[in-house]
Structures are given as C-alpha cells and as structure tokens.
Amino acid sequence: MGRARGLVARAQRIVVFTGAGMSAESGIPTFRDALTGLWERYDPEQLATEAGFRSDPPLVWSWYASRRQAIAGAAPNAGHRAIAALEPRKPGLLVVTQNVDGLHQRAGSGDVVELHGSILRVRCLAGCGVVERGWQDDPRSPPPCPSCGAPLRPDVVWFGELLPEEALRRAQRAAMRCDLMLVVGTSALVYPAAELPFLAARGGAQVLVVNPEPTEVDGIASASLHGPAGRLLPELLGG
C-alpha cells in the first residue's frame, strides 16, 4: 500500500477508470453477476443489444427496470466517496466510467465521463432526438416517445453500438495525458473502453489496479492492490 500511496501523492494529472466492481459494495451486481434469478438464462450481450430490444421490448425493458430499481435503492460506497474527496487535492482529476448507475456523481464527483451512457435517462429508439431523465415508468413495457411515438429505450451504449463520440475522445485524450491511471473494478474485456489503460501506459503514465481478482491490466500495472474498492480506496486515497 505504501508504494501505491506514493504514486498517488506524486501524481499531478489523475484519471480514475472504473467498472462494475466499483459499485459491487453498493449492492449493485457486477455485469457478469447481473444475471441472477429471473435473468440467469439470458446472456448480457443479448439483452444489452438493439436486436435484443427489438425482438422482445418488454423483456429488455423490464431487465433495465429491475436494474434501475436496484440502483435507486443503493448508495455510493466508501470507494466512490474516497474518489470524490480526492478531487479538491488533485485539480483536473477525471473519472471515466463504464458504469451506467450514476453513483460517482451521487458521491460528489464533479467531472465524470460516462462512456456507456446512463440507465437514468431514456431516448427515442427511432432517433428523433428526444432524450428524457423523467418518464412515466411502467416496468413492463417501454413508454412511447412523446414526439414521434416510437418506443423509448435506455440511453446506454448497447453491444455493437458506437460510444458517444465526445465522451470517447475526452477519455482517450485524458488517458494519453495523465501521469497516473487508477483502474478500479473492471475486468477490462469490453472495447474500446478496455484500451484506455494501455493508452495511458503508452503515454508514460503509471497504472495502478484495484481489484480482488487478477485482470488483463495487471501486466502493465506499476502496482496492483488485490481487494475490494470500498475497503482499499479510502486507505489509498485518504489524506
């Protein structure tokens, strides 16, 4: 832990890159674990696709409704809070997340790039431009678009879909410029997000991993802390 704390103390330009493990201690199942009970016979890469939604809108909509319910009942954990508390001491700190749960923002992080969108918004499936944060929520089926009547869909990035251009460009630029990338709670298997730690290392940054399990990123890491984010981040980032 001492060496890792030294890396944080010396860093000027920090990017914190997070995945589902960041929210595990808030009671939000990781992407791999999200398919329990009702959902265990489905493949996330089936449910989280436009084809999956078009083939069975009520099924996919109710999966997102069940995840939204879990998120509404959850709170940021000590890991989210430690990252938010570091911000004033490290001006320019940027959080780049694959999570769609909004917990970094609820913990007080002021600058968060949502690479894969947010489950707290919906947009028009037909792409007429409607994006909404509040809507008549019936967990059984997607409401119609108030403008063109097409179904509304979660404002997330589905597999096979391009990431929001500005978000991806901002994340890649920050990765190439940072001097420390903290990689928390991600298996780093989904692209192009998983490329970011490698971009940072190629740019000369130190890479610091926090994850109970070994991941693809350990090979390029200056240090890997094997344990839960909610326990380790307050120790690593605390003043």
Please give the positions annotated as active site.
116
Enumerate residues 6+ apart whose C-beta is below 8 A from 149.
Answer: none
26 scored as a contact of ligand BV8 (CB under 6 A)? no
Enumerate residues 6+ apart whose C-beta is below 8 A from 119.
Answer: 64, 67, 68, 71, 100, 101, 102, 154, 155, 156
When binding is defined by CB under 5 A, the residue of 22, 24, 78, 145 that contacts Zn ion is: 145
Both structure tokens of 103: 């917990």
128 binds, among Zn ion, ligand BV8, none (CB under 5 to 8 A by kind): Zn ion
Backbone φ/ψ region at 134: left (φ over 0), alpha (ψ -120 to 50), beta:
beta
Binding mask 129-168 for ligand BV8 (x = CB under 6 A): ---------------------------xx-xxxx------
CA distance 14 to 224: 16
115 vs 145, beta carbon nearer ligand BV8: 115
159 binds, among ligand BV8, Zn ion, none (CB under 5 to 8 A by kind): ligand BV8
CA distance 97 to 233: 16
Q: Find the residue with minimal CB distance to ligand BV8.
A: 21
Q: Is cis: bond before 192, omega within 30 of 0?
A: yes
CA distance 221 to 152: 41
CA distance 220 to 209: 10
31 scored as a contact of ligand BV8 (CB under 6 A)? yes
Report the residue count for the chain: 239
| Binding residues among 113-132 for Zn ion as defined by CB under 5 A | 124, 126, 128, 130
213 scored as a contact of ligand BV8 (CB under 6 A)? yes
CA distance 208 to 11: 12
| Binding residues among 41-100 for ligand BV8 as defined by CB under 6 A | 45, 48, 98, 100
21 vs 142, beta carbon nearer ligand BV8: 21
Which residues here bind ligand BV8, judged by CB under 6 A? 19-21, 24-25, 30-32, 45, 48, 98, 100, 116, 156-157, 159-162, 185-187, 189-191, 193, 210-213, 215, 228-230
Which residues here bind Zn ion, judged by CB under 5 A? 124, 126, 128, 130, 145, 147-148, 150
